[in-house]
Structure 1
Amino acid sequence: MPMKSPIAVPTSTVARNALVALAVVVVGAAVYWMADILTPLAMAIFLLIMIDGVKRWIEARSSLPGHLAGAAALLVVVVGFFLSIAIIVYGARGFFDETNGVVVRIGPRIDHILADIYALLRLPATPPTASDLIARVDVGSYLALVATQAQGVVGGAIFVMIYLGFLLASQSGFRRKLVNMFPDRHARAEALEVFQRVRGGVEGYLWVQTVTGAMICAAAWVLMRAVGLQNAEFWTFVIFVVGFIPVLGGAVAGLAPPLFALVQFESYWQALVLLGGLQAILFISGNFIQPRMQGDNQNIDPVVVLLALAFWGKVWGVVGMFLSTPLAVMAMAILAEFKGSRWMAILLSGDGEPYAESGSPENEDRRRVNAPQARPD
């Protein structure tokens, strides 16, 4: 039986894919070694996109001129950013209250829970105490790590605001730079279309996560107040914030409040109600509400979301976890616009179609709607 000749692959295609793979490795190494510089810059760009979206939302629903709408959007985002940090710090103080804080009651409560577990399982041994468990853990190193992380959050927030200020100052020259980079009006319109698709993908992700997060928080707050959980407002805010972290955010939102309910209450039914109720809320949101709100720009493969979470979490820590999905959305939107990299966008997409094929009615309609209006030079 004659052997079939191998499939001929153009040398240019092999060379191009090899260069792309090499560029990915180089960029990955760069973002890892320059994490201290790039992390606050990426967060500042993320806030800049939010400010631009809020600005256009204000302009569409009010008669404010562009500069006043921009100032209002900047005030909303910056105040919200620092308010988030203040809520976290204030809520954390409640756990260390000397009279009614969680830390004061955690030792005796753990002893009681361990005794109940041993009695339920009818174990002959004497249950260990909280002091025995703590003695096996290097508490000092963990406290030092927490203090270092807290210091890093404060310092990082300052650098984020500095980067954001410079980005806002340089934003006014973006149009002039675009004109000089793309003197041809048609090429400039295409570049603006790519930019708008990237921006639309990130803004769509933020919109979906914000709306669904608000729904989850409203239901979770009612549930936590109903069972009498302390610091319900703080836990509501935590649930909203961690909702922007894929996979891990749902685990923290569904397990952290019930665990603290075990420490607060003498009985167990409050923790069980919180566990079942929060899991039901997250299940309904993740399987029914959120998929209906997601559009084509969030057609990301779940495996890619998980890999992006692992990669950016390793490279940039907690900030990378928050930005992992927006960065994946941006990457897919950019890669889908070029023939040489479209295959990577297809791999990143959930259904193999990051955007409709060129020339198809769906693609033409989308381009007609999203295409920016060309302005005079």
Structure 2
Amino acid sequence: MKLPITFPTSAVSRNALVVIAVVAVGAALYWLRGILTPLAMAIFLMIMIDGVKRFIDKRTPLSSRWAGIAALALVTVGFFISIAIIVDGAAGFFGQASGVSASIGPRLDQILRDVWSLAGANEPPTATDLIAQLDVRSYLTQAAIQAQGVASGAFFVLVYLGFLLAAQKGFGRKMAGLFPKRSDRAEALEVFNRIRGGVEGYLWVQTVTGALICLVAWILMRAVGLQNAEFWTFVIFVVGFIPVLGGAVAGLVPPLFALVQFQSYWPALILLVGLQTILFVSGNLIQPRMQGDNQNIDPIVVLLALAFWGQLWGVTGMFLSTPLAVMAMAILAEFKGSRWMAILLSGDGAPYAHEGEEKSVARTRRQAAVSEA
């Protein structure tokens, strides 16, 4: 008689507790999203400031203190300039849109007639009929609420950032108090450096590839004469930090507006082919070479992280989804009970693929000692 398959009770209980803890943490993150989203963005900016500080410190004769001041000034000014460009560009876009609104309706009607003729159908709907089916007032209300949330969120991000920078001085003493043993402290610092390196690597890759995409996009948009080319270039750069959706916005939105602005379909076709080509080259050739071991994350995990954090924290969660996945993998890999989750999150089944064999063996021994204790 074949005996039923039995599982180790300790492992099942431990994994069940991990799953329950993850669900509880997710509920807490959603419930406290109004507090945690600006805090998470402030931590993200603080890591960015630290990376810029070390870059300036290594390549300039400035002291560490002045390098930190310069990095803080650069990131803060860039933060305010980004908000100003978005607000000013959006105002200019809607101002020009209102000036040409009289010609948009006939152009949309012509596009609908052409599409219906290609499909072999008759009597296409008019643009007025389609717009009448949309609740434009609710969309404008939601847009106003989102704009108000961005303004208030930016203020709280800066407040959190100031307090985090002020509390950074006591980080060393806190680490010494939390980890009295030098080996444990070194292990904790190693995890912190790995998290910081992953986030900085993500920022570097997205910044360089985003700048390349924006350069080609700006040249194409200026060549065809698309209105507000500079505004759309900046929008493409910002949304490039959102996985999957950023590429869709960058590759489809400018051609759609060109489709409405011009009487010919050629400008929209040029933008579509050009943007899709540079996105394909960047996503399949440039980014994989630059990422290396900084983002050893499974692509499906990137997609699930985007959906998960977008559901919890909205647009802010979408921006932070990949860095948060990097952080989660680095932390989960340090504990024997949760290492299996880090393996699932990794791209090749080895969260520490970039490390040598001796370090991996030493870490395994330390994890075993901690679990036995």
Q: How does 1:175-324 map to 2 (within 5 A)?
A: 175-324=172-321
In structure 2, give the amino acid aligned to 1:25. V
Given the superposition, is the C-alpha separation of residues 208 and 101 from structure 1 closer, same or farther in structure 2, using an over 3 Å criterion? farther
Give the fraction of aligned pairs with identical amino acids, expressed as a percent.
72
Deviation readout 1:34-78 (Å, 9 max, x if unpaired):
111111111111101100100010001011111211111111111
User: Could you tell me which of 21, 30, 44 is aligned with 2:28?
Assistant: 30
1:74 aligned onto 2:72: yes
- Work out which of the residue numbers 86, 89, 92 in structure 2 matches 1:88: 86
Amino acid in structure 2 at the alignment position of 1:263: V
1:14 aligns with 2:12: yes
Q: CA deviation at 1:342?
A: 1.2
Higher mean alpha-carbon deviation, 294-303 vs 312-321, is at 294-303
**Which of residues 157, 163, 172 in structure 1 aligns to 2:169?**
172
Contact 2:39–2:160, Cα closer than 8 Å, also in 1: yes
Displacement of 1:98: 5.4
Any gaps of 5 or more consecutive residues in structure 1?
Answer: 367-377
| Structure 1 partner of 2:2 | 3
**CA deviation after TM superposition for structure 1 residue 118, in Å:** 3.5
Whether contact under 8 Å (1:305, 1:328) holds in the other structure is yes
Paired with 1:4 and 1:105, the residues of 2 have a C-alpha distance of 77
Secondary structure of 2:134's counterpart equals coil
**By how many angstroms is 1:114 displaced?**
1.8
User: Do the aligned partners of residues 176 and 325 (structure 1) sit closer, same or farther apart at CA in structure 2, a change above 3 Å counting?
Assistant: same
Which runs of no fewer than 5 residues in structure 2 stay unpaired? 364-373
d(CA) in 2 for partners of 1:308 and 1:285? 21
Alpha-carbon distance in 2 for matches of 1:184, 1:117: 71
TM-score when normalising by structure 2: 0.92
Q: Structure 1 residues 345, 103: CA separation in 2 closer, same or farther (over 3 Å shift)? A: farther
- Give the deviation of 1:95 after TM superposition: 2.2
Q: 1:267 deviation in Å? A: 0.5
Displacement after TM superposition at 1:85 (Å):
1.2
Alpha-carbon shift at residue 203 of structure 1 (Å) = 0.7
The superposition leaves residues 316-366 of structure 1 with CA deviations (integer Å, 9 ceiling, x where unpaired) of: 000000000110011111111222221110000111111149972574899
One-letter identity of the residue aligned with 1:3: K
Q: 1:14 is matched by which residue type in structure 2?
A: V
- Look up the equivalent residue of 1:294 and give its one-letter code: Q
Gap change, CA 1:105 and 1:320, over 3 Å in 2: farther
Q: Choose which of 136, 150, 155 in structure 2 pairs with 1:153.
A: 150
1:162-205 superposed Cα distances (whole Å, 9 cap, x missing partner)? 11111111111111111111122221111111110111111111
- Cα distance in 2 for partners of 1:365, 1:181 equals 22
| Structure 1 residue 112, shift from structure 2 partner | 2.3
Paired residue type of 1:41? L
Would the alpha carbon gap of residues 103 and 32 (structure 1) be closer, same or farther in structure 2, given more than 3 Å must change?
farther
1:360 aligns with 2:357: yes
> Paired residue for 2:56?
58
What whole-Å deviation, never above 9, does each CA across 1:90-109 have from its counterpart, x for those lacking one?
11112222587564543232
Distance of aligned partners of 1:8 and 1:21 in 2 relative to their CA distance in 1, 3 Å threshold: closer
CA 104–169 in structure 1, closer or farther in 2 if over 3 Å, else same: farther
- TM-score, normalised on structure 1? 0.91
Distance, in Å, in 2 between the alignment partners of 1:359 and 1:140 is 59
User: Which residue matches 2:139?
Assistant: 142
Partner of 2:368: none
How many Å apart are 1:130 and its aligned residue? 2.0
